[in-house]
Amino acid sequence: MESSAFYAVQLEHSVIAGTPVIAQHFDQDLIGDTGVMLKGFYESGQLWALLIGLALGYAFKSFTSYG
């Protein structure tokens, strides 16, 4: 079977199988999901690790830069 015939068969099969899905609708609460994510970020201690890392990184940059 040639490659062009293979693609024609796939196209024919998708048309016979039904209407293709072009777009989907998701009912999501982005603000609520962000709040849940930030709450987990705080409760797991990652927020403190981020703040300590930023402070230590800034201090290291300041100590190693000239001027």
In tens, the pLDDT along 24-65 reads 777 788 888 899 999 999 999 999 999 999 999 999 999 998
Backbone dihedral angles phi then psi of residue 44, each to the nearest 5 degrees: -80, -10
N-terminal to C-terminal alpha carbon distance within the chain: 70
pTM for the structure as a whole: 0.49
Name which residue leads in pLDDT, 29 or 11. Answer: 29
Residue 18 is encoded by which pair of tokens?
A: 């039904």
Work out the number of other CB atoms within 10 angstroms of the CB of residue 25: 5
Q: What's the average model confidence in pLDDT over 4-8? A: 58
Confidence (pLDDT) at 51: 96
Distance CA 3, CA 40 (A): 50
Confidence (pLDDT) at 48: 93
Distance CA 36, CA 43 (A): 11
Amino acid in the structure at residue 59: A
